[in-house]
Chain A
Amino acid sequence: DGGITQSPKYLFRKEGQNVTLSCEQNLNHDAMYWYRQDPGQGLRLIYYSQIVNDFQKGDIAEGYSVSREKKESFPLTVTSAQKNPTAFYLCASSIGGYGTGGQAFFGQGTRLTVV
């Protein structure tokens, strides 16, 4: 089945450790995104990528890093520099491109808890 898969669903991290969240899609979409969701704040954009080997910072990129070595994959690393990493992380993809519409498809999310 076509879709977007995030793993793991739940993740616990000790303070000071880096952790990587996985996001894979088989929709052949060019664009991929990482959002963070906190209670009462909706979704905020962390990073996005329009094409392989290229990505841009979103609104809250500090303390995060990404890579886009393959079209299908867009992993997010939460570094120890992120001051408040406990949150729900959503990955999304879309066809992308100007004038092609903006419907994004979302993964099931990863809930990260720092202990």
Chain B
Amino acid sequence: EDKVVQSPLSLVVHEGDTVTLNCSYEVTNFRSLLWYKQEKKAPTFLFMLTSSGIEKKSGRLSSILDKKELFSILNITATQTGDSAVYLCAVLHTDSWGKLQFGAGTQVVVTP
């Protein structure tokens, strides 16, 4: 059975800390892995990773994929209270026509 597992399920950090979120997967016909940020309602797209070992960056956020060990990490440096959200990892299958399989998410709380 295909599965996407995120860890930790939740964490609390202080502003300025660095956060590392993990996403491991066991899926057949893997195409890409995506990260989303969900603050209140609609998840917003962060990254899509298809190739192993190539880091993607956007400001203080970065992510990398390891297709050999079947995991991805999302890093947030110099965290701010605005980074508080649920971070969702999702896998896209090659035969899925865009259908995403999501992990349970990691709840991040950044305290002042």
Binding site for B on A (CB under 8 A): 31, 33, 35, 40-45, 48, 50, 58, 88, 90, 94-98, 100-109
Contacts and interface: CB of A to CB of B under 8 A. Distances in A.
Interface in B49-82: none
A42 B5 CA distance: 10
Interface of B: 6, 9, 31-32, 34, 41-45, 48, 88, 90, 92, 94-105
Contacts of B43: 43, 90, 106
Contacts of A104: 45, 98, 100
Main secondary structure of the interface of A (DSSP, over half): loop
Contact of B98 (A42, A43, A95, A109): A95
Nearest to A38: B104
15 contacts: A42-B102, A42-B103, A42-B105, A43-B43, A45-B101, A97-B97, A97-B98, A100-B98, A102-B96, A102-B98, A102-B100, A103-B45, A106-B44, A107-B42, A108-B42
A3 B62 CA distance: 26
Nearest to A88: B41
Contacts of A50: 97
A43 B94 contact: no
B67 to A, nearest CB: 16
Contacts of B48: 101-103
Contact of B102 (A31, A43, A88, A109): A43
Contacts of A108: 41-42
